[in-house]
Chains A and B, each alone.
Chain A
């Protein structure tokens, strides 16, 4: 391929076009939503995750199913979704006064055409769902999952199969592990569910997928000088990036408070657990556990399953919530100032 100096103007135009293409290719939406990058809507993502949870229930071995049934019926699953999407496009790094084209007319005239741009868009989508694990087996849900064959998506995992079946299967098996080894001298029967108070199992996964795609073009052309007014230099730096952070917190637990409430008259059979319950109430009433996190944990233990899941989701989220970042930075700065030199 030979360099054609006569076509220098065309090369500059091609450079400009390439720059523009790179600038918009990975990041070109007005309102960043999951669909832009993943080609899957939010509804489909949630539907897919629910179908995976159903697959987790269905994947239990035949000999496990009868034992797992009461646990599945009594369990509650909660999901907290947080999708953070941001896009950035920049021309000449957004620096004002950056030279794009240089014109010359001999040594008498030199003129620079400058230009830069910097664009950014961000969107944070957050929602949560809490439902009964048993409800996933409803006919309506089974029908909607029947024709779904979702594959793994390596680039944007949340748009594909993320392994929620493993979460549900592990939770049910862990419940069975501690349940079935239990001493049968303290069982409390309720609505056909054979369960025991006080195991406090809350199983949670906090999954974060972050994908960043970026592209850049950085070019400069120096054109042969000729007589007259002419374009002599062309430079362009364009870059674009898109970052998607998809966070899914899932928490599972099962009803225990129902058993306790309905079986208060049976506390004679389960005095240890009754005493433990009264003990927790006393610690809270007398304000003996002064750390707010410990208080929340003691409250969580005796709450209804849905509330326990909601509290767990909140706890998991608040640990690394970006909304707390300013307070954390300020507090850290203050602590640093108080340190001895």
Chain B
């Protein structure tokens, strides 16, 4: 009787464990397409292709509209940058324990106990990063035939991300320099600019973050009564669990070439250049603006579109990394400060 109970329990435990392990985490190296929630199985390439095609769809909304020409000029002068970071982690934990006991003759309490346990924990983590910057006019010419994706609430990166709205909003804002009242016949959500659209300057960026966690587990155990005067299994247990987390970060930034802007904007650009140029005063190098972030922001505003995008991506990415990087940097400075001078490394 006891042995049949044990075998049934063991069977259930094994079934539960296999199901749990298989459901949540079963890949050698976590990738977007190996997530159980990624339907249809979108690979990294598919995700990038989809993002570009969504951006193209946003630009296509200007075709055959009154804004087509203005939007076209803006698109030709714009660079777009993408920074992807996919952090995927899977964990499987499998453990078991077996309790043996010897019961004394005459029904006494067990006089000997031996617990044997063992386990294996597997953890796989993959951080995939890549970044590229291209001309928005390249995106407008992308081949996106047959590209249509529905939303995926459980695993958003594999579905529609509405980058079309982002691209559309950027171009629409860039064509907006002198607001007038919205009138009948206007398209879209903002009024058409009255004059030359080449006035607005700046970087437009968005930082998307998605995280998904899925887990499953089984923890069966069985306790058995021993007959007197025998040695046998007192208890047995199995612990199986698995989880997977996916964190997907996407930074998208747009910026225009400075040459695209009007004379007025060019003048402002020259003024910014003066503010950030180092000058020598009594043998000491100084600049009018000293705050590091402000200096970088001014340099970014004056940079070519590709560099503006690059600096914007670096800025957003650094903000995220600061949570870990700042204590590290501060700690290194403290350690350097506390170190005796004769132990300092070159350059410290």
Tell whether, in the assembled complex, residue A331 and residue B295 are in contact, meaning their CB atoms are under 8 Å apart. no
In the bound assembly, the distance between CA atoms of A209 and B88 in angstroms comes to 12
Q: Quick check: is A30 within 8 A (CB to CB) of the other chain?
A: no
Tell whether, in the assembled complex, residue A272 and residue B257 are in contact, meaning their CB atoms are under 8 Å apart. yes
Closest to B137 in A: A183
Q: Is the interface of A mostly helix, strand, loop or mixed?
A: mixed
By a CB distance below 8 angstroms, the chain A residues around B117 are 215-218
Q: Is the interface of B mostly helix, strand, loop or mixed?
A: mixed
In the bound assembly, the distance between CA atoms of A256 and B123 in angstroms comes to 37
A-B pair number, CB within 8 angstroms: 257
Tell whether, in the assembled complex, residue A182 and residue B138 are in contact, meaning their CB atoms are under 8 Å apart. yes
Stretch at the interface among B9-17, B97-105, B177-185, B205-213: B97-105
Tell whether, in the assembled complex, residue A213 and residue B120 are in contact, meaning their CB atoms are under 8 Å apart. yes
Tell whether, in the assembled complex, residue B328 and residue A328 are in contact, meaning their CB atoms are under 8 Å apart. yes
By a CB distance below 8 angstroms, the chain B residues around A288 are 276, 295-296, 298-299
By a CB distance below 8 angstroms, the chain A residues around B44 are 170, 174
Tell whether, in the assembled complex, residue A328 and residue B327 are in contact, meaning their CB atoms are under 8 Å apart. yes
In the bound assembly, the distance between CA atoms of A235 and B105 in angstroms comes to 21
- The proximity string for B residues 200-231 relative to A, scoring 1 for CB distances below 8 Å and 0 otherwise, is 00000000000000000000000000000111
Asked, given contacts A208-B125, A213-B120, whether A331 binds B327 with beta carbons under 8 Å apart, the answer is yes
Q: Quick check: is A63 within 8 A (CB to CB) of the other chain?
A: no
Q: How many residues of B contact A (CB 8 A)?
A: 80
Tell whether, in the assembled complex, residue B112 and residue A154 are in contact, meaning their CB atoms are under 8 Å apart. no
In the bound assembly, the distance between CA atoms of A157 and B124 in angstroms comes to 9
Q: How far is the CB of A276 from chain B (nearest CB, A)?
A: 4
In the bound assembly, the distance between CA atoms of A200 and B132 in angstroms comes to 5
Asked, given contacts A208-B125, A272-B304, whether A181 binds B139 with beta carbons under 8 Å apart, the answer is yes
Tell whether, in the assembled complex, residue A287 and residue B328 are in contact, meaning their CB atoms are under 8 Å apart. no
By a CB distance below 8 angstroms, the chain B residues around A153 are 28
- The proximity string for B residues 10-36 relative to A, scoring 1 for CB distances below 8 Å and 0 otherwise, is 000000000000000000110100000
Q: How far is the CB of B170 from chain A (nearest CB, A)?
A: 19
Stretch at the interface among B153-161, B188-196, B238-246, B329-337: B329-337
Q: How far is the CB of B200 from chain A (nearest CB, A)?
A: 20
In A277-297, which residues have CB < 8 Å from any B CB?
279-280, 283, 286-291, 293-294, 297
In B82-139, which residues have CB < 8 Å from any A CB?
102-105, 111-135, 137-139
Q: Quick check: is A140 within 8 A (CB to CB) of the other chain?
A: no
Q: Quick check: is B252 within 8 A (CB to CB) of the other chain?
A: no
In A131-179, which residues have CB < 8 Å from any B CB?
152-155, 157, 160-163, 166, 170-171, 173-174, 177-178
Q: How far is the CB of B125 from chain A (nearest CB, A)?
A: 4
Tell whether, in the assembled complex, residue B311 and residue A331 are in contact, meaning their CB atoms are under 8 Å apart. no
Tell whether, in the assembled complex, residue B112 and residue A211 are in contact, meaning their CB atoms are under 8 Å apart. no
Closest to B98 in A: A217
In the bound assembly, the distance between CA atoms of A275 and B259 in angstroms comes to 11
> Of B121, B138, B303, which contacts A212 at CB under 8 A?
B121
Tell whether, in the assembled complex, residue B329 and residue A202 are in contact, meaning their CB atoms are under 8 Å apart. no
Known: A327-B328, A331-B332. 4 other contacts (CB 8 A): A157-B124, A181-B138, A204-B129, A288-B295
- Chain A interface residues (CB < 8 Å from chain B): 1-3, 11, 15, 18, 22, 152-155, 157, 160-163, 166, 170-171, 173-174, 177-178, 181-183, 198-224, 272-273, 275-276, 279-280, 283, 286-291, 293-294, 297-298, 301, 316, 319, 324, 326-332, 334-335
- Chain B interface residues (CB < 8 Å from chain A): 28-29, 31, 43-45, 48-49, 52, 102-105, 111-135, 137-139, 141-143, 229-232, 257, 276-278, 292-293, 295-296, 298-299, 303-307, 310-311, 314-315, 318, 321, 324-332, 334-335
Can you sample 19 A-B contacts with CB below 8 Å?
A166-B43, A174-B48, A178-B138, A181-B134, A181-B138, A200-B131, A201-B131, A213-B118, A216-B116, A217-B114, A272-B257, A279-B303, A280-B307, A297-B310, A301-B310, A327-B334, A331-B327, A331-B329, A332-B327
